[in-house]
Amino acid sequence: MNEINGFKQSRISPEHYFRWRRKRALACVEKISNRINLIDKRALDIGCGCGALSYALLEKGTQVWATEIDSDKLKFAQDKLAKNKYFNSVLVKNERLPYDDCFFDIVFIFDVIEHMKNPAKMIQEALRVLKSGGYLYVEFTPYYSITGHHLYDFAKWPIHLLPKEKVKKIVFSKKIKGFMTAEYYWRQFESLNKLRINQFQQMVKKFQKIEERYLIKYPEKFEINIPIINYLGPLKDYFTMSFEGLYQKLK
């Protein structure tokens, strides 16, 4: 493994973080491209962040539109990708998408729906802008997963089940290495909407399910899909470190 692309190195600088995110995004795009021809397709990258997923899609010959609510992250993505004529981006204020009905072939919501104030509205908007027969791909970490806190630099156990003031103390008492700050990590934690898998599955009822994956993984070490987790009821969130879903808009 090229060490500059690892999780630990991703904290060194925004460029290192982009490289790590791009590596993760490439794995996602490869899985999708094995099912769907992405060449010349119109793809929407919702919550594009630093632009890593958009970058990976452009490498596949996809036309990419991207939205982001954070102006600093969007500027980084634009600086990386604006020279590509197939990249279009826009700063948004909420879940409302500034696109026409039935415009996209595929919509990606990659590692971001758990941070949205109104995830159900986001799914409705994705349905609206997708063409008939278009695809929706979503990946997120369930809040009640053992890693649902997203505070991977601070703990490998579910500290988010502690009282909020205890979690905040953990975040602000540790010496931070790299370019990210305690304030940034805390904002990320506070933005979590406590989305559960069952709640999300209700949101996508109007889609046809193509595949759902219940992943247990360790970054850069292994990733295992365990479908039986789906039958664990409310415990499915605890055992799922990352949930992936691929859905199709009915024709």
Q: What is the pLDDT of residues 173-192, one digit of tens each?
A: 999 989 999 999 999 999 99
Q: What is the pLDDT of residues 39-86, one digit of tens each?
A: 999 999 999 999 999 999 999 999 999 999 999 999 999 999 989 999
Query: Does any domain span residue 152?
Result: no
Q: 3 pLDDT exceeds 70? A: no
The CATH number of whichever domain residue 216 belongs to comes to 3.40.50.150
Q: Per the structure block, which two tokens stand in for 56?
A: 């990976």
Share of the chain above pLDDT 90, in %: 91
Query: Does any domain span residue 243?
Result: yes
DSSP β-ladder status, 63-68 and 42-46: parallel
CA distance 197 to 202: 9
50 and 129 in a single domain? The answer is yes
| pLDDT band, residue 1 (cuts 50/70/90) | very low
171 and 219 in a single domain? The answer is no
Q: What is the pLDDT of residues 193-206, one digit of tens each?
A: 999 999 999 999 99
Domain of residue 164 covers 159-189
Q: What is the pLDDT of residues 91-119, one digit of tens each?
A: 999 999 999 999 999 999 999 999 999 99
Handedness of CA 160, 163, 164, 170 (dihedral sign): negative
Query: Does any domain span residue 80?
Result: yes
Query: Does any domain span residue 86?
Result: yes
Query: Does any domain span residue 101?
Result: yes
Question: Residue 175: left if φ>0, alpha if ψ -120 to 50, beta else—which one?
Answer: beta
Query: Does any domain span residue 114?
Result: yes
| pLDDT band, residue 156 (cuts 50/70/90) | confident
Mean pLDDT of the 226-245 span:
96
106 and 178 in a single domain? The answer is no
Q: How many domains does the chain have?
A: 2
